[in-house]
Amino acid sequence: MCCHNWPGNSCLFLPLRRNLGVILDGLPAEPARARRHHAAGFSFVELLIVMALIIVLFTLYFSSSSKSWQVKQIAVCAKNLDNIYVALKTWSTDNSDRFPALTGPATSEPVLSQLIPRYTTGTEFFTCPGTKEDRLPDAEPFANRRISYAYYMGHTASDSATQPLLSDGQVNADPKVQGQALFSSNGKKPGGNHNKYGGNVMFCDGNTQASGPFAAFNLTNSPGVVLLNPKP
């Protein structure tokens, strides 16, 4: 039978039954208020799910404990070391080919602080981006502050390209052979600039190589060279 036949056609009264919530054809209508309540409740649940997913994805990809985020920061960190190396080379031209040194320092800060401000005013290069620590004041020596990088004190600019010069903070100040612990393997300090995902080592020729938590290469000290970690 055609939907427009009269009488007794439920199609004719369907809009009225839906919108007014009345019984015109013998069938009870769901109240409009109830329908709106169900729809709104479902949308709110969907919103909560979407928000939860966004938070999870943000944590996975952008938190300091995220591997993908730290891999990117290791690349940025290598550029920091490049900038420090330029300052070290400039220092060496004024100091008989020698890199900065002091008598009896306990950490790397007072030694590398000598580069500021004459050889570089860029103190931001001394803070590893993987740590998310606050940057140092511009153009101010940082001997009494904390930086992120270890320094092999005692080298000259003409030393072998196999000799390490700078690195991310290490687990200790001992020489390392391939396979020994170099950076933190659990994300805790010391050696945790990049959580548990390794770090960078720069050699005396300015070449930088990344390594995982366990040394990918030998890092032995020449006679008279001392490894200075940054302050804990």
pLDDT in tens, 141-172: 999 999 999 999 999 999 999 999 999 999 99
Is the predicted pLDDT of residue 1 greater than 70, yes or no? no
Q: What is the distance between the alpha carbons of residues 9 and 25, in angstroms, rounded to a whole number?
A: 8
Mean pLDDT of 86-114: 98
Mean pLDDT of 51-60: 67
Is the predicted pLDDT of residue 37 greater than 70, yes or no? no
Q: What is the pLDDT of residues 168-190, one digit of tens each?
A: 999 999 999 999 999 999 999 99
User: 73-84 burial by CB neighbour count: b if 16+ within 10 A, else e?
Assistant: bbeebbebbeeb
Mean pLDDT of 31-41: 55
pLDDT of residue 13: 47
pLDDT of residue 49: 79
pLDDT of residue 16: 46
pLDDT of residue 169: 98
pLDDT of residue 219: 96
- Residues whose CB is less than 8 angstroms from the CB of residue 32 and which lie 6 or more positions away in sequence, other chains included: 18, 19, 20, 21
Per-chain mean pLDDT for the chain = 86
Q: Could you tell me the pLDDT band of residue 44, with boundaries at 50, 70 and 90?
A: confident
**Higher-scoring residue by pLDDT: 60, 109:** 109
State the pTM of this model.
Answer: 0.74
Contact between residue 74 and residue 81 where contact means Cβ atoms under 8 Å apart: no
Q: What is the distance between the alpha carbons of residues 90 and 92, in angstroms, rounded to a whole number?
A: 5
Mean pLDDT of 10-19: 50
Phi/psi-derived region of residue 27, left when phi > 0, alpha when psi is between -120 and 50, beta in every other case: beta
Q: Could you tell me the pLDDT band of residue 52, with boundaries at 50, 70 and 90?
A: confident
